[in-house]
Amino acid sequence: MRAPLQSKPVMILIQAVIMLALVLLFILLPAYEPPQLYEGAAPEEASSTPVADQSSYAAGYGPDREALQPASGSGQPPHAQQKQPGQIEPAQAGTAWRAAEPAQRPAAAAGSSGAAVDNSGESAPGQRGGQVQPQSAVLAAAGPELTAALQRPKPDYSKQARHYRNKAIVLVYHHIDPKENGITISRERFHNQLQMLRDNGYNIITMEQFVAFMSSKGEVPQNAVLITFDDGYESFYTQAYPELLQFGFPATKFVVVDSIDNPPAKGTPRLNWDQMREMKRNGMSFYSHTNKLHEYVKADQTLNLKPALANRMLLDKENRLETEEEYRERVKTDLIRADRRLEDELGIQERLLAFPFGAYNETALQIGRELGIGFFFTTAEGINVPGKDEIYRINAGVNYLSADGLLKRLKKYENASS
């Protein structure tokens, strides 16, 4: 019987080739960088994921709602019932959005020269400590196509499917980050939702258009949608803003003003005023999410925690609850402070308020109306028609809601009367 020719040397050669291939693979693989999904600045992961704003859970959104409820009885915020007030007459609405309009800003505050100033006193471009390249530089490097996107002509409404008319849907988001949760979605998910809105004939409007419409002083196109964000996280600038610009969509950000003036040393980075001024020049708008009432406070002797705007708080030193007068004064002072800071930094504008955690009561509404706040943005879901100052919003910024899922939610309101 004849033995196979040189079988042993052949096997040794094959093993050597395999070993060489594995060595090359381990050497080359770490150097490989996958292509970026988006043009411009790469998505930057936040230092941590925000959990303080649980408005989405308080409103009944999100699969983990029960685990995150504050210890406050039933855990549900004291929503005021939606009313049918008389004709609303807020302050005169602003002009329609003009992307190429020059900035309308007040005299610059100390240290405000188009670049932020860090604690060392040295100029830092658009970010504390100079850690992030300003989006203005990123967008300038992207060329004229973004400017063209901001100036897209009106769509031909006759070619769109009509989902509804003389009504407006308001979407609410919070944070954009790769680590998704109940109030955080990825940039890719946000992009896909914006694409869905465009592909299905939804027309994105400005806050100025919305206010004029809700005041019966203006009209909105069919299938009108207003995009809003709550809280003041910097991801609105680094992640959401470039996407909005590429689609030519305006949006509104409700900011917790004190967190802008006094950003936390740890946790999710916040916007700064220079970033907001830059975005305002390009169609974004900014309003109040209170000055410092985005927190839970002790609301009784059992130390139950409840939203600060909607509840009297326990005064620890005196071991008693605030009186109704003290509560009203605390809320009033906070709301005045928030609007004054916004006007100081961004100029005179309509006064609007998004309720922290979606929690409010009749007293908060009364105080706001006395201060000239025209509209109050809630977390109750619905579609908006003129004649109300309590605004419904649909929470689109949750990690389980795909673009198709959001479309199904929007279609629920095609035949809704209010």
CA gap 334, 340 in Å, rounded: 10
In a domain, 276, yes or no: yes
**CB-based contact 138:14 (threshold 8 Å):** no
Task: Say which residue, 156 or 6, is predicted with more confidence.
Answer: 156
* Residue ranges with strand state E in 232-370: 252-255, 285-288, 296-298, 305-307, 314-315, 320-321, 352-354
The average pLDDT across 275-281 equals 98
In a domain, 35, yes or no: no
Evaluate if residue 243 carries a pLDDT over 60.
yes
In a domain, 263, yes or no: yes
Q: What angle do CA 170, 168, 279 make, to 5 degrees?
A: 50
Residue with token string 């609105």: 236
pLDDT band at residue 16 using 50, 70 and 90 as cut-offs:
confident
Give pLDDT, residue 362: 97
CA gap 84, 306 in Å, rounded: 27
pLDDT band at residue 24 using 50, 70 and 90 as cut-offs:
low
Residue 183: strand pairing partners: none
Evaluate if residue 410 carries a pLDDT over 50.
yes
Evaluate if residue 338 carries a pLDDT over 90.
yes
Range in 112-116, 214-218, 290-294 with the lowest mean pLDDT: 112-116
Of 129, 202, 192, the residue nearest 163 (C-alpha): 202
**CB-based contact 287:354 (threshold 8 Å):** yes
Range in 144-153, 299-308, 336-345, 406-415 with the lowest mean pLDDT: 144-153
Give percent of the chain above pLDDT 70.
Answer: 65
In a domain, 87, yes or no: no
Give pLDDT, residue 45: 32
Q: Is 3 exposed, middle or buried (0-12, 13-18, 19+ CB in 10 A)?
A: exposed
Give pLDDT, residue 108: 33
* Per-residue pLDDT reduced to its tens digit, 97-145: 323 333 333 333 333 333 333 333 333 323 333 333 444 444 444 334 4
CA gap 76, 25 in Å, rounded: 55
Give pLDDT, residue 12: 72
* Per-residue pLDDT reduced to its tens digit, 48-106: 333 333 333 333 333 233 223 333 333 333 333 333 333 333 333 333 332 333 333 33
Q: Is 229 exposed, middle or buried (0-12, 13-18, 19+ CB in 10 A)?
A: buried
Q: How far is CA 206 from the centre of its chain?
A: 15
In a domain, 113, yes or no: no
In a domain, 388, yes or no: yes
The CATH number of whichever domain residue 264 belongs to comes to 3.20.20.370
CA gap 52, 382 in Å, rounded: 25
SS3 24: helix
CA gap 291, 288 in Å, rounded: 7
Highest mean pLDDT: which of 31-35, 240-244, 318-322? 240-244
Quote the mean pLDDT of the chain. Answer: 75
SS3 238: helix
Residue with token string 């000239």: 372
Evaluate if residue 389 carries a pLDDT over 70.
yes
Give pLDDT, residue 39: 28
CA gap 20, 363 in Å, rounded: 75
- One-letter amino acid at 100 equals A
CA gap 314, 372 in Å, rounded: 28
Give percent of the chain above pLDDT 90.
Answer: 58
Residue 18 token pair: 């395999």
Give pLDDT, residue 303: 80
What's the domain range around 262?
161-411
In a domain, 275, yes or no: yes
Q: Is 373 exposed, middle or buried (0-12, 13-18, 19+ CB in 10 A)?
A: buried
> What DSSP designation does 233 have?
B
Give pLDDT, residue 10: 64
Give pLDDT, residue 279: 98
Give pLDDT, residue 82: 36
* Total number of domains constituting the chain: 1
Evaluate if residue 17 carries a pLDDT over 90.
no
In a domain, 249, yes or no: yes
CA gap 220, 206 in Å, rounded: 10
Give pLDDT, residue 160: 87
Task: Say which residue, 51 or 208, is predicted with more confidence.
Answer: 208
Evaluate if residue 151 carries a pLDDT over 60.
no
The average pLDDT across 8-15 equals 70
